[in-house]
A = this chain, B = another copy of it.
Amino acid sequence: MTPDEARSRFALARVARLATVDADGAPRIVPVTFALDGDRIITAIDAKPKREGPVRRLVNIRANPRVSLLVDEYDDDWARLWWARAEGVARIVEEGPDLGRAFGLLRQRYAQYATVALIGPAVVVDVERWLGWSAVAG
Chain A contact residues, CB within 8 Å of chain B: 14-15, 17, 19-21, 24-31, 48-51, 64, 66-70, 72, 74, 76, 78, 81, 83, 85, 87, 112, 116, 131, 133, 135, 138
Contact = CB atoms under 8 A, between A and B. Distances in A.
Contact of A74 (B15, B27, B68): B15
B20 A27 contact: yes
The oligomer's copy count stands at 2
A67 B22 CA distance: 11
A119 to B, nearest CB: 15
Given A27-B67, A27-B68, 17 more contacts: A17-B72, A19-B27, A19-B68, A20-B27, A21-B27, A27-B27, A28-B85, A29-B68, A29-B70, A30-B83, A30-B85, A31-B70, A31-B72, A31-B74, A48-B81, A49-B138, A78-B116
A129 to B, nearest CB: 10
A51 to B, nearest CB: 6
Contacts of A74: 14-15, 31
A50 B138 CA distance: 8
A26 B19 CA distance: 9
A133 B20 CA distance: 18
